[in-house]
Structures are given as structure tokens and as C-alpha cells.
Structure 1
């Protein structure tokens, strides 16, 4: 395990190396590797563990009865996932977590956080506080997604998403974590129609792009 990397993540913010090592032992930390396209966690099953993406990336997706896919989020290095389900172990997952590249995940069993630990670990309060902040940020992320998908047209949805990405990066040039199909699934639109709209927006001088790298063109 890369302790230096883990200490830089939001989950272990403010922890010392000795705290981290004690946490990993207390929460029965285990590492697993996955290849691109492999299912990390499956909808319809419960889990007592949450994951931290140590290396690589994954996609959080839902698929309805008719096979329609909706991408909720991308999980990048350092991000956590399934913490809500790990805290509510009786709840079955409503999402799939799919490896978007070859990746390594660190799993932590959160069951000890919901009851008094026999080891009387002093770091539990810090971990709970960090988890609360992570949950709040995820709620904010989902609110932003509502804004992006609330547009009446595909162009409005794309402009909302691109505008936020530029603001987040502080630059008109940015890279998104999705390929074309994933972006269409995230925005809830047809891929072909979205691709046609992207080409039209580029022709009109609104944006420029190559693969998942975009530039918002600002007219003088």
C-alpha cells in the first residue's frame, strides 16, 4: 500500500502515518486489482466495504430493466465510493461500479464505525468527520448534475457541463473524464445526436475539441 498517497486523500486528511496504519488494520483493509470493463461492485447486492481508488479509474452507472444506461459519476484516483452502502449494509446497491481502466482499489470495512470499537480507536471521530465532508461534496456534485441535465436541448446540457468544467479548471481548456458514449449516458442523451451537436458547435466556433480535450472559444 502506498501510505504517502493515502495520506493525501480526502478520507485520511489530517491523519498521521501511525494513525493511518492503525486505521487500515482496524478496518480490515484489503487491496484488489481489476482490468478495464470488470465489475467492482454489482447492483442488487449489499456491501460492508467502501472503496478508495488507488490507481486507475471507474464509472458509477445504473442500468434499467430495458438496458438503458445512465452514468452518475467517474471515480478517479484518490476518490472513494460505496461509503453510503457500507454504512447501511442492509441496503442493496442501486448502481454498478465498473473499472474504466486497469485499476487498484483499497477496500475498508466500515462496520466498526457504526458501533463501539473494542480497540477504542481514537481516530474514528476524524474518519467519520472526513466521511461527512466527502458525502456533502458528493451531494453538491449530484446537484450540479441536475443543473447539467435539466437543459431542454442537447446543446444546453453540453454548454452547462462545459461551462462548469472550465470554471473548475480556471481555464477555457480542459479534459473531461468521459468518452463520447459515457458523456451521452451522463447527460441522458442519444450519442449520435450529441455528436452531431458537438460538430455543429465546433463549426459555429463555440468550442474546439479532440477526443476528450475541449476548448471553449471566446469571441472578441
Structure 2
């Protein structure tokens, strides 16, 4: 395997709390493999059966679902240090229902999930912490999915935008922020038409609710 930055790996969510020495030992135990992807390249295809967890070392990716009619839904956004495909990797022989697509040039470290879930033959001290980290990450992703369901529960585009933007402001504890999506990606995430959403954003600006420039938002009317 190509060399990896052990110090950077200690800052990833899956290896949180580990030393560089512990990470180095675990990489051998977990049959770690590093692979590079170009922007817009598909990392995982819907229909694939995976047995490895992906750790985003560099770059970012989208997790999206396309139905047979071509309708697209953005389900999540993978940033540096985060993991993906862990649910499907843990569910043996379960076919992926999503595509994982590189949004920029990426470097991904793949870890064999079967070796994470089983007792390490080398009795690595950090192995139990690794499993605990995986459980914590899975719980957080369940919360993220619940939030998306909440954001898309409104029947109106404005309602969905208000729900999403309100959460972003609350999460950051400020009324001015950037979101990780461009217009098309935000529309896909909220399950609405891009043109209709852009029109609604324009109306919300005229109504004095927000200011928006590309992916930068400012909440104006908080009364």
C-alpha cells in the first residue's frame, strides 16, 4: 500500500483517539488500501456489494440515489476525515442503493469491515475503540438521515428551504454561513426542482428573509 499520513489519520473520525503507532498497526490488521479518484469519477456504483469502509483522506464526495426514471436525490456529503459505505459493508451481501461520486480529486483509504468487527488476531489495543467509533458514527448518520426527512416533510419549497437554513444557522450558532451544496445539489437534497427552488430563493430575498450569493447565506428576519 502507498504510504499514508498517520498524523492526519489520527484526526479522522474512525481513528479518533488513536496514536500514530496504533493507526500504523491497525492498517496492517485491516488490509488497508489507498486509491485515488478524479473529479466526477464514481467511487461506488449502485448495485455494488462492498465489504470495505471508505475513509476520505483528501477531497470530498456526494452520496446520491438515481431512480430508473433519472430522478436524483442527494443523501449525504462526505468530507475529508469522514467515512462512507459502512452500513452496506456491515450488512453482508446487501447491494448499494446509492452512488458515491467524487466532487473533487480524491484519495480514499479502504478498510476491510470484517476485520473491524472481528477480534483482531494481533490483539491491537485500539481495536475496541475502533468499533466504538464506528457505532458512534453510525448513530450520527442516522440523525443526519432523520434531519433530511424532517427538512423534506414540508409540502412547499419555501418550507423545505426554511427548515434546512434554520438548522444550518442553529448548528453554526450564527446567521451567516456557507452550505456544502451548489444549487443543483441543494435542490436534489431537498427533493425539489432546481429552477423552482431558485425562484423561491429570489422571492425569499425580496421578502427580506435572506440574502444569498451562490452557497453563502445570511438570515435577515429572525423575529
Compute the TM-score of the two structures, normalised by the length of structure 2.
Answer: 0.95
Matches within 5 A, 1:71-90: 71-90=74-93
The one of 83, 88, 100 aligned to 2:103: 100
The one of 192, 195, 213 aligned to 1:192: 195
SS at match of 1:174: strand
Note the residue ranges of structure 1 that are not aligned, 5 or more in a row. Answer: none
CA contact (8 A) 2:42 2:101 kept: yes
SS at match of 2:120: coil
Q: CA deviation at 1:44?
A: 0.3
Matches within 5 A, 1:98-177: 98-177=101-180
Per the alignment, do residues 128 and 219 of structure 1 end up closer, same or farther by CA in structure 2, a change over 3 Å counting? Answer: closer
Q: Residue deviations 1:135-170, cap 9 Å, x none?
A: 000001111111100012000000000011111111
**Residues in 2 aligned to 1:54 and 1:103: alpha-carbon distance in whole angstroms:** 7
Aligned residues: 220
Residues 1:216 and 2:222 aligned together = no
Note the residue ranges of structure 2 that are not aligned, 5 or more in a row. Answer: none
SS at match of 2:92: coil
Residues 1:53 and 2:44 aligned together = no
Q: Residue deviations 1:2-50, cap 9 Å, x none?
A: 2122111221111111111111111111111111110001110101111
Question: How well do the aligned residues superpose, as a CA RMSD in angstroms?
Answer: 1.3
**Residues in 2 aligned to 1:55 and 1:166: alpha-carbon distance in whole angstroms:** 27
